[in-house]
Structure 1
Amino acid sequence: MGLSNIKVGTKLISGFLLVCLVGIVIGIMAIVDLKKLDDEAEKLYAKDLLGLSFVKEANIDLIYVSRDWRNALISPDQEKKQKYIRLAREYMAKVRDNLNKGGALFYTEKGRKLLSDLNARLDEWNASTEKLLAMVPKEDPSALSEEFRSVHKTQSDQNDAVDNMLTELTRFKEENAAKSSQATTELYERNRIIIISLIVGGLIFGVTVGILLTRSLTRPLSRAVEVANTIAHGDLSSKIDVSGTDETAQLLIAMQKMQQSLQGIVSEIREIVEAAAIRGDFGVKMNLSGKEGYMKDLSELLNRLSDVTDTGLRDVTRVAQALAAGDLSRKIDKDYPGVFGQTKDGVNGTVDAIRGIVDDIQFVALSAGQGDFSVRMDMQNRQGYTKTLAELLNQLSDVTEEGLKDVMR
């Protein structure tokens, strides 16, 4: 089904809904992508950066343990020795605690393996460190016993091993953090391109929908304006092509019907005029069937004009035929306005004038029949043929009267 078969309101609403739908899709995709970015950022912080922080804290605590047992070894009195030993044990506990906190944030197989190895090494380090701390109060820093030196050597090796493993864990976490950061950046770049593409695509789609809707409305409307201007200039021959069933198509259909109605009116008027002007037939009338409004009014007025013309001419013809037959009793009795009223007055005046002449002639003839040839026709107010006829009759009376007088004399 083409756009021309969809109503204008439906077109506009559909176009608006389509543009809204595109906007909703873009918004949903943007929200989903933002959620992915948020997840990656949370992963970067919670599993990598936070885990890295715990490992570094454990490494610092490891340094503090070495510092405090050495401080305990060189302290001059037992009270300070015990204080530093206690601090060393606290930092030992912190090393374990930080690694336990960070352990849950190692999510790769390699990370868990490194952490497992570190915990095993840390147990050995704890044991040797505790043994070392137990010997510190009894040792003279200026003359260390061989046993202490041996324990210290073992503890130092294990401390270096733990430190190296913490360094490796730190490097591993930093690499993971860098990878997560890179993944987040790539996800951002990819989603930015997708969202920009969707926005551009949505704009192109919206513009395309707008152009299609505009063309589906303006083309038939422009055609309707063109047809209306053509009809306004009196040209009823233009062809109106209609396609579709929307409001613009209905407008063109209405204009098509109007054009056909006007063509019918013009055709009927032409038929009436040709019948009257060429054949002298004023009996042809406009058909009122199916006509309404101005067309009905126009048809009724034309029929009334035809009726008045036909009736008036018939009355004139009737009186003229009566005059031709010598009947002076016929006159036009019906009232007519305007020119037909003047025609009525002229015809009736002619009848009255002829009737007056006939009466005068009859009077003159009757007088002559009684032997009186002195009667003459009154010349007052006579003009044209009535004056000429009166003068001729008076001359005839004069000649007749003079001749008879001569005979009698």
Structure 2
Amino acid sequence: MSKINDEATKMYTLELMGLSHIKEANINLIYAGRARSNFMLATTEEERAAHKATLEKSLTAADELLDKAAPLFYSPKAKDMFAEAEASLAAYRQHLNTALSLAAQDALLSTRSEALTKALDDARIESTKVDNLFTELSRMKEGAASKANDLTDQLYATSLTMMLAL
């Protein structure tokens, strides 16, 4: 019974919480994308400032969630994907900052410079890459949790058989 309890605790702390942190980081990435779009559509400096603050808050939350999730991904493949996701998120942030700086220089947002269009495209590419990596990392955690669940089922069946035999 102790083994079943230990495995259930392990499943929660390693698998479920790792999954939760990655999914929450991905949600914050979506919030950042929405704030980026709202920034681009804003018609006043106050609106732009509010949307930029929301964007920064979302990206900071995503970074904090990734810090919590990092030690919960332990397979070599997951660690590699995690490192790639972090690098891509940093590149996304850089492209996004470039795009927002260029957009802030335009008085009218109905016209876009070539540099702004490129920065937005680069940010979108990195955002999609991070989203895909987060999705794959989530699937890995779901698979690991399923294996942990199968192990607790096995332990239960073995324990039940032993208890009946006794």
Return the alpha-carbon distance in structure 2 between the equivalents of residues 197 and 128 of structure 1: 65
Corresponding residue to 1:144 among 88, 112, 116 = 112
Corresponding residue to 2:70 among 103, 107, 115 = 103
* Residue-by-residue CA offset, 1:20-65 (whole Å, 9 max, x unaligned): xxxxxxxxxxxxxx21111111111100001100000001000000
Paired residues for 1:160-309 under 5 Å = 160-198=128-166
1:76 equivalenced with 2:43 (yes/no): yes
Return the alpha-carbon distance in structure 2 between the equivalents of residues 181 and 136 of structure 1: 50
Letter in 2 for 1:151: A
Return the alpha-carbon distance in structure 1 between the equivalents of residues 74 and 127 of structure 2: 26
Higher relative contact order (CA 8 A, sep 6+): 2
**Runs of 5+ unmatched residues, structure 2:** none
1:59 equivalenced with 2:26 (yes/no): yes
Question: Does the 8 Å contact 1:72/1:137 carry over to 2?
Answer: no
Letter in 2 for 1:74: L
Shift of 1:75: 1.2
Secondary structure of 1:144 counterpart: coil
1:92 equivalenced with 2:59 (yes/no): yes
Question: Does the 8 Å contact 1:106/1:112 carry over to 2?
Answer: yes
* Residue-by-residue CA offset, 1:307-351 (whole Å, 9 max, x unaligned): xxxxxxxxxxxxxxxxxxxxxxxxxxxxxxxxxxxxxxxxxxxxx
Q: Residue 86 of structure 2 corresponds to which residue in structure 1?
A: 119
1:134 equivalenced with 2:93 (yes/no): no
**Runs of 5+ unmatched residues, structure 1:** 1-33, 199-409
Shift of 1:106: 1.1
Q: Residue 267 of structure 1 corresponds to which residue in structure 2?
A: none
Bigger-Rg structure (1/2): 1
The number of residues matched between the two structures is 165
Report which of the two has the higher share of helix: 2
Letter in 2 for 1:58: A
Paired residues for 1:368-387 under 5 Å = none
TM-score by length of structure 2 reads 0.94
* Residue-by-residue CA offset, 1:375-406 (whole Å, 9 max, x unaligned): xxxxxxxxxxxxxxxxxxxxxxxxxxxxxxxx
Shift of 1:89: 0.9
Structure 1 segments of 4 or more deviating over 3 A?
none
Corresponding residue to 2:125 among 139, 157, 160 = 157
RMSD (Å) for aligned C-alpha atoms: 1.2
Paired residues for 1:355-374 under 5 Å = none
Question: Does the 8 Å contact 1:54/1:101 carry over to 2?
Answer: yes
| Identity between Structure 1 and Structure 2 (%) | 29
Return the alpha-carbon distance in structure 2 between the equivalents of residues 197 and 108 of structure 1: 38
